[in-house]
C-alpha cells in the first residue's frame, strides 16, 4: 500500500499554563516492500525531486536496509524472526529537506498489527525508539519517557499511545499523575499521484522547513509564558525502550 494523507496535527499543553494549536499538512504512508513504486515525475527515492524519500533519513541513518533495521529493533524487543509487512508513516522530503518529529513503523503479521516502532527525533539531531507491543491496534500502550524532546518538559513521566483509530494516532503525556500534554495526528487518505503532490506543494510550499520553524515559534510562546526551561541532559543516541 502507498498513500498520501492530508493531516491535522494537534497539541494542547495543560500545565502550568495552557498552550494549544492545530496545524494542517500532510504525510506519507507506504509499505517498505513497495518503496520503489513511490517514484514518479515529482517524487524521487534516494534522489532529489520536488518530493523525495531517502533511506538515510531513518534507521541507522546510513542508507542501509530499513527493513533489516526494523527487524533488529523488533528482535531486541523480544519479537524474534519477524517476517511480516512493515508500513512506514512519515513526512517526505520537500525540496530536499525534512524533519520528522516522529515516524511510525506499523509491523503486521498475517494482517494483524503486531507492533509499532515510534522513531522519535529532536531538534538536537538525536533519535530514540519506543516499541509498542501490547495489541497496539486494540489497547492503549503505556511507556515511560526516556528521551529529551522539548526543553519545556523534564525527562520523566509516561506516555499513553492510542492507535485504536485507523487514521489517527494520539499520544498523551503524564507526570506527577497529571495530564500535561495531549497530541494527535490524524489523516484523510488521498491517492498518491503527481496531481495531488502538486496540489499539496502549492498549498504547503516548503512544508517540512515550516515544521521546524513552527516548533521554534511554539517554543517562543512557551518562553514568553514563562514556562520552566530544562537543560538538555547528556544521553546516548539511538536508545530503545520496550514495553
Q: What is the pLDDT of residues 152-182, one digit of tens each?
A: 899 999 999 999 998 899 999 999 989 999 9
β 2-13/19-31 pair status: antiparallel
Check residues 32 and 226 and name the one with the higher pLDDT. 32
Q: How far apart, in whole angstroms, are the C-alpha atoms of residue 97 and residue 82?
A: 32
53, 54, 60, 63: CA torsion to nearest 10: 140
Q: Which pLDDT score is estimated for 243? A: 44
Total length of the chain? 243
Q: How far apart, in whole angstroms, are the C-alpha atoms of residue 103 and residue 118?
A: 6
User: Residues of the chain with pLDDT > 70: what percent?
Assistant: 96
C-alpha cell at 72: 533488529
Task: Please determine, for residue 31, whether its predicted confidence score (pLDDT) is greater than 60.
Answer: yes
Q: pLDDT of 58-115, one tens digit each?
A: 999 999 999 999 999 999 999 999 999 999 999 999 999 999 999 999 999 999 999 9
Check residues 54 and 15 and name the one with the higher pLDDT. 54
Q: pLDDT of 201-242, one tens digit each?
A: 999 998 999 999 999 999 998 989 989 888 887 654 444 454
Average pLDDT (146-152) is 90
Q: Which pLDDT score is estimated for 195? A: 98
Residue pair 211/101 in contact by the 8 Å Cβ criterion:
yes
- Residues 54, 83, 192, 135, CA torsion sign: negative
Average pLDDT (112-123) is 96
- 3-class SS at 243? coil
Task: Please determine, for residue 38, whether its predicted confidence score (pLDDT) is greater than 60.
Answer: yes
Check residues 199 and 123 and name the one with the higher pLDDT. 199
Q: Which pLDDT score is estimated for 235? A: 55
C-alpha cell at 35: 518503496
Amino acid at each position: 500500500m502507498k498513500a498520501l494523507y492530508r493531516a491535522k496535527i494537534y497539541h494542547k499543553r495543560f500545565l502550568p499554563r495552557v498552550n494549544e494549536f492545530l496545524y494542517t499538512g500532510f504525510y506519507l504512508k507506504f509499505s517498505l516492500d513497495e518503496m520503489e513504486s513511490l517514484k514518479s515525475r515529482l517524487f524521487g527515492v534516494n534522489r532529489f525531486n520536488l518530493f523525495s524519500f531517502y533511506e538515510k533519513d531513518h534507521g541507522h541513518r546510513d542508507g542501509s536496509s530499513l527493513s533489516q533495521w526494523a527487524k533488529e529493533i523488533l528482535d531486541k524487543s523480544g519479537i524474534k524472526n519477524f517476517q511480516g509487512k512493515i508500513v512506514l508513516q512519515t513526512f517526505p522530503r520537500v525540496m530536499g529537506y525534512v524533519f520528522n518529529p516522529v515516524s511510525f513503523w506499523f509491523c503486521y503479521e498475517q494482517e494483524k498489527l503486531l507492533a509499532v516502532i515510534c522513531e522519535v527525533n529532536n531538534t538536537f539531531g538525536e533519535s530514540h525508539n519506543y516499541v509498542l507491543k501490547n495489541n497496539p491496534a486494540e489497547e492503549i500502550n503505556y511507556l515511560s519517557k526516556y528521551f529529551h524532546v522539548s526543553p519545556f518538559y523534564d525527562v520523566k513521566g509516561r506516555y499513553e499511545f492510542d492507535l485504536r483509530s485507523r487514521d489517527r494516532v494520539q499520544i498523551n503525556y503524564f507526570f506527577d499523575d497529571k495530564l500535561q500534554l495531549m497530541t494527535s495526528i490524524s489523516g484523510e487518505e488521498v491517492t498518491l499521484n503527481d496531481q495531488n503532490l502538486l496540489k499539496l506543494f502549492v498549498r504547503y510550499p516548503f512544508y517540512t522547513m515550516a515544521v521546524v520553524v513552527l516548533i521554534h515559534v511554539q517554543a517562543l510562546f512557551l518562553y514568553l509564558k514563562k514556562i520552566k526551561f530544562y537543560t538538555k541532559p547528556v544521553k546516548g543516541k539511538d536508545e530503545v525502550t520496550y514495553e
